[in-house]
Amino acid sequence: MGQWIAGDIHTHSDCCEDGTLPVAELVEQSLPYCDFLAISGHARNSDNWGEHQYRAILDARKQFPDIPIFHTGELEFPIERHVMILTQPENREFELQRELVRRFDRRAGVAGIERAEDEMRFIEEGWGLDAFMVFNHPNAPVVAFEHLERLARFELFKVIACIDRGERRAEQVWDVGGDWDRLLMQGRRIFARFGSDFHAHFSAGGHDYWPGEFVQDHLWVENNSYQDILSAYRNGGFYCTVDNMISDPVFESRPAADSRRSELRLEFQIHLPVDHIDIVSDGRAIRSFTDVPVGAFRFSETVPRGLYYRVRGAAKPRPRKYGEGAYQPVFLVNPIFTD
């Protein structure tokens, strides 16, 4: 048995100087959209980073016992990038964030790819693989592929953000044959996620959606528990949507009678008219579908055997819920592998 749950692991509370809501209120506002959350305050150079946020999270966990709430920080990684490390409460969650800020803050002068690798080793040695790294907004600025490659050698490096801060889409992850595909072709099992990067909601003069209101990570879990959420992110047992544009995906591959081919099966429910869907394997689109109506989508065929298959899609543009103009909802189904 299992179930789909939805959530957001990139959100800011008023424990950050640019956040607006207390942790408990942020959780409250997320309840219509999220089964779990992570609070990811900006980790600023400090000797005891996270104290304030952590205390607020401990209180919120008592108030909302059914909602896993991860304590994490948006770290200034030694190469120019925001990253987050998520672990379980029992795995010294407070100490992890505090030590990373203390030892590996780029703004305090700890810079360069070697220091970044030191940080990965430090985490893997001290906290094991009951944790994973999220690489935030990868195209702001673009990370050199050579750096991504070196980081991807660590098992900790698991998740790259594709969408965050409203409609910002990272081409390094979205593009067919882009950097994410190149890593997958090297055999790295890395997955993509969407997140809100919530700071302040439109209704309060900000320009962010509530966590889960616009983008959703959908995880396949046994229980809505910290453990199951971590393993779903680590194993790629999740898909991501804007506006819940699809649901209930089934995605499987089996060896075909001809060993150079795979039997691929892909099914899901479409909730918004689709502009295009691509099935991607080994860095190229092997099947594309355009103008697909709302309803059940079913694909089952033998296709050339690849290392992996993944799916991406985009809806027809639709009006923004807040403000002017139109935008294009998208979705990603994370890769499945053939060995």
Chain positions contacting Zn ion, by CB under 5 A: 74, 82, 197
Q: Give the Å distances, CA to CA, from 107 to 34, 81, 98.
A: 33, 11, 15
Q: Which is nearer to Zn ion, 82 or 158 (CB)?
A: 82
By C-beta, is 197 or 228 nearer to Zn ion?
197
CB of 74 to Zn ion, least distance (A): 5
Nearest to 45 by CA among 80, 73, 13: 73
Distances (CA, A) of 312 to 162, 266, 275, 339: 11, 12, 11, 22
Give min distance, CB of 7 to Zn ion, in A. 16
Closest chain position to Zn ion (CB)? 82
DSSP string for 146-195: HHHHHHTTSTTEEEEEEEETTTEE-HHHHSTTSHHHHHHHTT---EEEE-
What tokens were used for 52? Answer: 């304030």
Select 40 or 216, whichever has its Cβ closest to Zn ion.
40
Q: Which residues contact 62 (CB under 8 A, 6 or more apart)?
A: none
**CB of 154: closest distance to Zn ion in angstroms?**
21
CB of 41 to Zn ion, least distance (A): 9
Q: Cβ closer to Zn ion: 82 or 193?
A: 82
Least distance from Zn ion to the Cβ atom of residue 40, Å: 6
Compare residues 74 and 243 and give the one whose CB is closer to Zn ion. Answer: 74
Using the minimum distance from each CB to Zn ion, give the nearer residue, 78 or 306: 78
Task: Output the CA torsion sign for 67, 68, 73, 78.
Answer: negative
Using an 8 Å Cβ cutoff, are 152 and 126 in contact? Answer: no
**Shortest separation between residue 245's beta carbon and Zn ion, angstroms:** 24
User: What are the Cα distances from residue 268, in Å, to 239, 246, 271?
Assistant: 11, 7, 10
